Structure 1
């Protein structure tokens, strides 16, 4: 029973990743077909992330009332409908309209599943599950590149991914009785005070969660990391086209190298995550991303360092997200973890909301060459905030 539920959670993580890279890989063609400037990609992602912030902050209430299984199924259904809406949109304003359910569908399920896994599974499982997010996010650029190359257009890619999401929704709805049985059985959880987290205690308010020492630091680190991730996903293909002269179909495929690095890195991290610990994974991940960005920035006549840099940046990014989430019950207590992870998701999507369009505005003034330097600043912020949190948590009590 527990193994079957784990397989379903794997499928849900694939569904979380599937839509995330479509806009970035398809935008070099989409903006021309829709007749809007290239910087307008940030508007769509801002709307999506705004909806995700709202549903993330509501995740604790929703999960307490309806359960993780139902929240997951309904959220994936919302995302599926939005992707099909994208696929049949012929104008920019329609994309903006469908971006609303797209965002609302992502936040609550992200927070609910991440807290469930953080409480019930070891660090290696968190990394492997998040590698399945990378599987979904890596598949979609190839779908986009294939449909563009075949002359079917970007809309066919959205329709195809929307169909996959519908199939996953059916699986999740069929699994609802299984979630109920597992909840009653209460499997062994990863943290000693996890029973308190599942007890029908008082709601952990936003004010109370934010008042916990160190929460602000981890929110800033999460903001920075997710800003790096989403800015790279959204703008890497456009950077390759504009600065490296690569054709759009090839750039859509090469843009997937970052996501392939994340996917492979999370799979590999699972084998040594329990040994190294979350803090080491976060620190090493940020440093590796910085190395990858240096390679991307090198002004060399060959594209090989740039492509290698995308892979290295992806490998470095791999353990950061799962390690931050998995460490939350340990750092702040299992009773507070659902509320704090919900706020972490909101901080993550705030970074996703603000920083890619900010880069779009900045690049329209400076040029796309600034892409790797912009990301280096965010990487430095994430590394510093996570190290400050480590010092706070390890400092002896006064």
Structure 2
């Protein structure tokens, strides 16, 4: 009887230790040591935090960690009794940076009529502002991976903030138009580093099961920034203030974000790849590996189309609503904000854990109603229908770009994600710059003018849907 009681007491004493779970570093190692195998399954989901049964997530095995004590090997920031993991700090810093990128993404299009009036420019000439940022953004995306390895992620972000703030400061004085183009180039130079570097951070900090979630949260803040700038520019236009005063806002914001990145990403180090001998691979060898992957070339086409659709619509919508629909200058900018409100809400909605859309079908389900909204905008000219069409188009277009980036990132090993993300964003710049530029030139040549905007968007969306069916299957964890 005494022996039985003793055994029961010892067993009860041991039970609480089972509730503390596996240390986080151990959970990470279990996941990292699991080999990858190829599969031909196409059941992966477009926007889902759930994964099939043969995806192993050691950190989510059902064990819990004590709330009062951070897991062993986990670093972060402690404020009183509150412990904030580095992952949260990195996500916050990333969202700040892409907010600034989104702010600049719509500011140029919203200020396009002001540029035309102030400098007395034609459609063809004012379209050159889209070309201004091409060189800077493309070079920064291509250099991002190399500079991250050479000087570190935080230093790249500090450099990005300096370039972004410098370009904003230059434009705020309303210099001659070539100097405005130089300022836009500097802002896009910094924005390219921001987007490529921070997208790389997000692609590294999560496993396949949460990659879509984090990527959608990141680009929801991009959409939030893009939503804010037309409101500010529209308010300035309605008040009769000079357009140049807007650029003091991104200058102040970039200065603040630079200080935050200096603190939040102080300890950030890109996680190592667990493939065999990755430390012996040079950058050239990694680029060769990337070039041999089919997803690289398919992803290029999809990203170019995705960014072209979003930026043609975003940059020319204000002028379209003014010249074709007869809208007011202030109201048309608010309608542009409605487009980005739809983009932001769409990205947030498809990040919810109960929203499951399969990859191939998902793209078609998103772009089909977007094309329908463009058809409504094209065929009907009522104030209410214009607002509805713009909002619906934004809602279903929003998840397209982050969804494509997360799908591509899930199909490459960690050691190549930085390079792949940089290449994809560089190609996205090609679409986002050449798309609005070519559209502006064509609109200035054809008799229909800006009336061709909705059908052009519909054609590009249809091409994107076709190419989406060529994506190779994802690798799974056995």
Indicate whether the TM-score tops 0.5: yes
Instruction: Map Cα deviations across residues 193-223 of structure 1 (whole Å, 9 max, x no partner).
Output: 9545996443255454222123211111110
**CA distance 1:330–1:210, change in 2 (3 Å):** same
2:351 alignment partner, SS class: helix
Greater displacement, 53-62 / 221-230: 53-62
1:333 aligns with 2:418: no
After TM superposition, the structure 1 = structure 2 runs for residues 198-277 of structure 1, keeping only pairs within 5 Å, are 200=279, 201-203=281-283, 204-272=285-353, 275-276=356-357
Among 464, 468, 474, the alignment partner of 1:382 is: 464
Map of 1:358 onto structure 2: 438
CA contact (8 A) 1:11 1:168 kept: yes
- Is the Cα–Cα contact under 8 Å of residues 343 and 396 in structure 2 kept in the other structure? yes
Confirm or deny that 1:156 pairs with 2:245: yes
Look up the match of 1:115.
200
Q: CA deviation at 1:352?
A: 1.4
Residues 79-132 of structure 1 show CA distances to partners (whole Å, capped at 9, x for unaligned) of 121112112123211112223322221223212211221221211121112111
Corresponding position of 1:183: 269
Measure, in 1, the Cα distance between the counterparts of 2:231 and 2:160: 24
Identify, as 1 or 2, the structure richer in helix.
1
CA 1:381–1:353: 2 relative to 1, 3 Å: same
CA distance in 2, matches of 1:32, 1:97: 19
**Aligned-pair CA distance for 1:134:** 0.9
Equivalent positions of 1:252-331 (< 5 A) are: 252-272=333-353, 275-276=356-357, 278-298=359-379, 300-331=380-411
Contact 1:209 1:340 (8 Å CA) reproduced: yes
> Contact between 2:307 and 2:432, CA under 8 Å: does it hold in 1?
yes
- Return the alpha-carbon distance in structure 1 between the equivalents of residues 454 and 259 of structure 2: 41
Return the alpha-carbon distance in structure 1 between the equivalents of residues 130 and 450 of structure 2: 18
Question: Is residue 347 of structure 1 aligned with residue 427 of structure 2?
Answer: yes
Quote the offset at 1:270 in angstroms: 0.9
Match of 2:169 in 1: 84
TM-score w.r.t. the length of structure 1 is 0.89
Question: Are the structure 2 counterparts of residues 82 and 196 from structure 1 closer, same or farther at C-alpha, using a change threshold of 3 Å?
Answer: farther
> Residues 147 and 153 of structure 1 are in contact (CA less than 8 Å); yes or no, is this contact kept in structure 2?
yes
Q: Deviations over 1:35-79 (max 9, x none)?
A: 211333321111212211111112211111122222122212211
Does residue 1:51 correspond to 2:51, yes or no? Answer: no
Kept in 1: contact 2:342–2:393 (CA 8 A): yes
Whether the 8 Å contact between 1:50 and 1:353 is mirrored in structure 2 is no
> Per-residue deviation at 1:305?
2.3
Displacement after TM superposition at 1:136 (Å): 0.9
Distance across 2 between alignment mates of 1:211 and 1:384? 22
Q: 2:145 matched to which residue of 1?
A: 60
- Give per-residue Cα distances to partners, 1:276-306, cap 9 Å, x unaligned: 35555434332232222112111x2413223
For 1:77 and 1:310, locate their aligned partners in 2 and report how far apart those are by CA, in whole Å: 34
Query: Unaligned 5+ residue runs, structure 1?
Result: 187-192
Mapping of residues 134-149 of structure 1, within 5 Å: 134-149=223-238
CA contact (8 A) 1:279 1:323 kept: no
* Residues in 2 aligned to 1:33 and 1:198: alpha-carbon distance in whole angstroms: 58
| Contact 1:281-1:323 within 8 A present in 2 as well | no
Task: For 2:389 and 2:193, locate their aligned partners in 1 and report how far apart those are by CA, in whole Å.
Answer: 33
Q: How far apart are the structure 1 equivalents of 2:90 and 2:289? A: 32
Distance in 2 (alpha carbons) for counterparts of 1:133 and 1:236: 18
Shift of 1:176: 4.2
CA distances 1:295-329 after superposition (whole Å, capped 9, x unpaired)? 2111x241322322211111112111111111223
TM score, norm. by length of structure 2: 0.75
Q: Gaps spanning 5+ residues in structure 2: where?
A: 1-75, 77-85
Match of 2:218 in 1: 129
